[in-house]
Amino acid sequence: MTKEKTLFICFSLLLLSISGCGGDPKVTGKVTYLDDKSPVTAGTVIFAKDGYTGRAEIGKNGSYSVHSDAKGYGLPTGTYRVYLEGTAKTTVEGGGVKTEHQIDPKYYKPETSGLSLTVEGSQTYNIEVERYSGE
């Protein structure tokens, strides 16, 4: 092999490693209420797997795009437990704090949410949640 061919191959491999070959799979979706399909308009969707966490802020139209603190956008492949945070509205009234749950509190913990996702490639993962019933 000539010196020029070797340099070309090394340079090509370097460019591929810098580009990351596309990075981790992108996960996007929408969070809506089960009853009327209206959007959940605030909060965070959390994807947890073996000490790794990916996060996605929920937009005003219910949409999200996963961002992981360690890797930028996207999620490494694998199976994640999914839950939500920050969906409750908190106000101060009469010297006390009042919390108004927007969704059923079971979605606040990965152990009780019943939500999971296996990431094998870029995909859309829409989440439907139950409203808080006050019970």
Question: What tokens does 54 get?
Answer: 């990916």
pLDDT digits (tens, 9 = 90+) for 95-110: 888 888 899 999 999 9
Per-residue pLDDT at 94: 82
Angle, vertex CA 64, rays to CA 55 and CA 99, nearest 5: 75
pLDDT in tens, 85-98: 998 888 888 888 88
- 124 burial (CB, 10 Å; 0-12 / 13-18 / 19+) is exposed
**Domains located in the chain, CATH noted:** 24-129 (2.60.40.1120)
What local confidence, expressed as pLDDT, does residue 69 receive?
A: 53
Alpha helices in the chain (DSSP H): 3-19
**How many C-beta atoms lie closer than 10 Å to residue 94's C-beta?**
5
